[in-house]
């Protein structure tokens, strides 16, 4: 494969030695579904990244972008792979405009670090208003009781995920119930297209109908249309008050009754999650927080004005007792953040302790939170697989983690059987199943993007227009795009 070595060597002209790794051992840390790239590139500027894409395009090399690697399990194995382009050195926070409630970051910036920086940023309004200037010449124009902003998301793998990865994988979390999803938060983007050009779309305004909404196209495009470099997201001021109610139940029916009652009451919770014992065991809850018995936990996040949060907490407690909760605990403001932080890492915790976990995301119409969980449990039990699940009760989404244990034809067949079965269940309910992580062999046994839909025909034409050569993550996306 002398040609390949030649092609990779071309990159030495535009990358320093420490920006291009080719030795097999280090490259093996960047395998995509078990396939090793020939080299891993670490661009340090958008211009340099664009140059790399131009070169890849000239040499027809296939390229897969990589942030922190937390969601690389999503997608088909690449149909070909030459380069992994790692964004970890593009990690600047370019602009924290808290008065305008926007933040602009580079793709490799870690979600957690951006969120920390925002929380500490004073929420000043920068208007040159003489009357309110402080004696020292400051520009504060209000007596704030308030401080800090946040990106209203708690995405999966929040402690490692990069901003680019979150957008590319449209990774959401429990708070999507109140605050929406990445598609609702992304206002502007700069990315490198297959031509090697840097493309800018959207901007810093919440309202923007100038031309097509290319931001929407890129959210969830999983590296198949371009390499995200810079993103502008909408922020919110930190809520005045936060609390979380933990309500434990013996049966799924009681848990669902409670959720149903709470939704019907006209409350505006930030998140309502139903999870099973195996999932909450990863959270290391204190003795007072979790009971020894109980099969299901409904965790309710409440954010907003203090009075509203207090009322929602007390109503949730009353309704949970009416639905025969066996234990309840209110976490309070401080523990709220810690709880949801570790909650977002449940999958990562499971991957540390269980070998060969297959994770899927199931979707149903949102009212059917009971059915989706019943089906998930039923399939796991029928195929004799250990499991944990976390379900967004108000969004119709359930993440199911199936523990395969040792890889063998039998375990692979059982995991595939459970996934196929759930694909049927979700399909009948009008939903779908998307595989989040699975062994490459298992991926060959099930359609990892779920059942094909009729809009695939347009998606294929978009890919053809945007990347006719097929250099961006070839074969990994829906329908082999």
Partner 1 sequence: MGIEDVISRLKEIVGEEYVLTSDMDMTLYGYDASQEKGRPDAVVLPDSTEAVSRVVSLAAEKGIAVIARGSGTNLSGGTIPTKGGIVIHLSRMNRVLEIDLPNRTATVEPGVITLDLQNELLKKGFVYVPDPASQKVSTLGGNVGENSGGPHCLKYGVTTNHVLGAEVVLYDGSVIWTGGTNQDNPGYDLTGLIVGSEGTLGIVTKVILRILPAPEAVMTMLAIYDTIEDASNTVSAIIAEGIVPATLEMMDSVIIKAVEESVHAGYPLDAAAVLIIELDGLYDGMERQTEKIVGICKRHNVRRFQVAKDETERARLWAGRKGAFGAVTRLKPSYMVCDGTVPRTKLPDVLNRVMEVGGKYGLLIGNVFHAGDGNLHPLILFDERDEEELAKVRKATSEILRICAEAGGTISGEHGIGIEKLQEMPLIFSEADLEVMRRVKRAFDPEGIFNPGKVVPGPA
Stretch that binds partner 1, among 29-37, 82-90, 308-316, 383-391 (CB under 8 A): 308-316
Task: For the segment 158-177, give every residue that binds partner 1 (CB under 8 A).
Answer: 170, 172
Whether the Cβ atoms of residue 149 and residue 238 lie closer than 8 Å to each other: yes
Among 54, 89, 216, 327, binds partner 1 (CB under 8 A): 216
| Sign of torsion over alpha carbons 318, 319, 324, 329 | negative
DSSP 8-class letter at 31: -
Does position 324 interact with partner 1 (CB under 8 A)? The reply is no
Among 466, 469, 470, 475, binds partner 1 (CB under 8 A): 466
> How many Å apart are CA 65 and CA 36, to the nearest integer?
14
10 Å CB burial of residue 39 (0-12, 13-18, 19+) is buried
Task: For the segment 235-254, give every residue that binds partner 1 (CB under 8 A).
Answer: 236-240
Residue among 115, 112, 91 at smallest CA distance from 103: 115
Stretch that binds partner 1, among 7-15, 108-116, 356-364, 381-389 (CB under 8 A): 356-364
Does position 366 interact with partner 1 (CB under 8 A)? The reply is yes
- Report, in angstroms and rounded to the nearest whole number, the Rg of the chain calculated over CA atoms: 23
Whether the Cβ atoms of residue 344 and residue 155 lie closer than 8 Å to each other: yes
Q: Which is nearer to partner 1, 414 or 437 (CB)?
A: 437
Task: For the segment 175-214, give every residue that binds partner 1 (CB under 8 A).
Answer: 180, 183-184, 193, 195, 197-201, 203-214
Does position 5 interact with partner 1 (CB under 8 A)? The reply is no
DSSP 8-class letter at 229: E
Q: Which is nearer to partner 1, 71 or 91 (CB)?
A: 71
Among 396, 438, 439, 472, binds partner 1 (CB under 8 A): 396
Least separation, in Å, of the C-beta of 193 and partner 1? 7
> How many Å apart are CA 397 and CA 400, to the nearest integer?
10
Does position 97 interact with partner 1 (CB under 8 A)? The reply is yes
- Give the Cβ contact number of residue 257 at 10 Å: 18
Q: Which is nearer to partner 1, 52 or 201 (CB)?
A: 201
Burial call 438-471: b when 16+ CB within 10 Å, e when fewer = bbeebbebbbbbbeeeeeeeebeeebeebbeebb
Stretch (H or E) spanning 3? helix 2-10
Task: For the segment 437-456, give every residue that binds partner 1 (CB under 8 A).
Answer: 449-450, 453-456
Does position 395 interact with partner 1 (CB under 8 A)? The reply is yes
DSSP 8-class letter at 238: P
Does position 94 interact with partner 1 (CB under 8 A)? The reply is no
Q: Which is nearer to partner 1, 48 or 195 (CB)?
A: 195
**227-234/186-192 β-pairing:** antiparallel
Q: How many residues bind partner 1 (CB under 8 A)?
A: 95
Among 27, 94, 101, 252, binds partner 1 (CB under 8 A): 101
Q: Which is nearer to partner 1, 99 or 252 (CB)?
A: 99
Q: Which is nearer to partner 1, 205 or 353 (CB)?
A: 205
Does position 310 interact with partner 1 (CB under 8 A)? The reply is yes
Does position 135 interact with partner 1 (CB under 8 A)? The reply is no
Among 217, 252, 326, 445, binds partner 1 (CB under 8 A): 217
Stretch that binds partner 1, among 303-311, 321-329, 339-347, 437-445 (CB under 8 A): 303-311
Does position 478 interact with partner 1 (CB under 8 A)? The reply is yes
Q: What are phi and psi of 223, to 5 degrees?
A: 70, 15
DSSP string, 83-127: EEEE-TT---EEEEETTTTEEEEETTSBHHHHHHHHHHS------
Q: What are phi and psi of 211, to 5 degrees?
A: 80, -175
Least separation, in Å, of the C-beta of 216 and partner 1? 3
Stretch (H or E) spanning 360? strand 357-363
Least separation, in Å, of the C-beta of 389 and partner 1? 16
Q: Which is nearer to partner 1, 42 or 179 (CB)?
A: 179
Does position 139 interact with partner 1 (CB under 8 A)? The reply is no
Least separation, in Å, of the C-beta of 207 and partner 1? 4
Residue among 4, 389, 103, 62 at smallest CA distance from 227: 62
Does position 367 interact with partner 1 (CB under 8 A)? The reply is yes
Among 10, 94, 326, 429, binds partner 1 (CB under 8 A): 429
Does position 127 interact with partner 1 (CB under 8 A)? The reply is yes
Stretch (H or E) spanning 310? helix 306-322
């Amino acid at each position: 494969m002398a040609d390949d070595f030649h092609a990779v060597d071309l990159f030495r002209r535009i990358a320093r030695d420490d920006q291009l790794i080719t030795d097999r051992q280090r490259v093996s840390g960047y395998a995509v579904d078990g396939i090793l790239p020939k080299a891993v590139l670490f661009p340090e500027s958008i211009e340099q990244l664009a140059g790399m894409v131009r070169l890849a395009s000239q040499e027809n090399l296939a390229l897969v972008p990589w942030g922190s690697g937390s969601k690389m399990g999503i997608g088909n194995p690449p149909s070909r792979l030459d380069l992994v382009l790692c964004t970890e050195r593009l990690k600047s926070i370019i602009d924290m405009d808290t008065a305008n409630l926007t933040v602009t970051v580079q793709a490799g910036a870690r979600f957690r670090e951006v969120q920390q920086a925002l929380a500490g940023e004073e929420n000043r309004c920068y208007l040159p208003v003489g009357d309110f200037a402080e004696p020292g010449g400051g520009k504060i124009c209000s007596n704030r009781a308030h401080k800090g902003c946040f990106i209203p998301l708690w995405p999966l793998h929040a402690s490692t995920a990069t901003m680019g990865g979150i957008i590319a994988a449209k990774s959401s979390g429990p708070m999507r119930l109140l605050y929406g999803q990445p598609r609702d938060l992304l206002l502007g983007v700069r990315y490198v297209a297959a031509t090697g050009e840097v493309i800018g779309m959207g901007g810093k305004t919440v309202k923007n109908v100038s031309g097509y909404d290319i931001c929407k196209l890129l959210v969830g495009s999983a590296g198949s249309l371009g390499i995200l470099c810079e993103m502008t997201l909408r922020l919110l001021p930190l809520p005045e008050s936060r609390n979380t109610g933990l309500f434990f139940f013996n049966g799924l029916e009681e848990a669902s009754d409670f959720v149903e009652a709470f939704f019907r009451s006209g409350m505006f919770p930030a998140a309502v999650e139903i999870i099973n014992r195996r999932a909450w065991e990863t959270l290391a809850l204190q003795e007072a927080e979790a009971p020894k018995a109980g099969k299901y936990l409904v965790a309710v996040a409440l954010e907003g004005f203090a009075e509203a949060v207090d009322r929602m907490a007390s109503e949730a407690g009353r309704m949970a007792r009416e639905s025969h909760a066996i234990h309840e605990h209110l976490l309070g403001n401080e523990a709220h953040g810690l709880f949801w932080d570790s909650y977002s890492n449940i999958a990562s915790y499971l991957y540390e302790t269980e070998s060969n976990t297959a994770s899927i995301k199931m979707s149903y119409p949102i009212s059917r939170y009971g059915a989706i969980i019943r089906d998930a449990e039923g399939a796991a039990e029928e195929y004799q697989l250990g499991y944990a699940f976390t379900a967004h009760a108000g969004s119709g989404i359930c993440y199911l983690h199936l523990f395969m244990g040792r890889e063998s034809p039998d375990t692979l067949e059982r995991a595939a059987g459970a996934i196929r079965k759930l694909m049927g269940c979700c399909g009948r309910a009008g939903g779908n199943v998307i595989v989040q992580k699975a062994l490459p062999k298992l991926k060959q046994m099930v359609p990892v993007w779920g059942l094909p839909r009729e809009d695939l025909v347009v998606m294929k034409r978009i890919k053809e227009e945007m990347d006719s050569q097929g250099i961006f993550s070839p074969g990994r996306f829906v329908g082999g795009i």
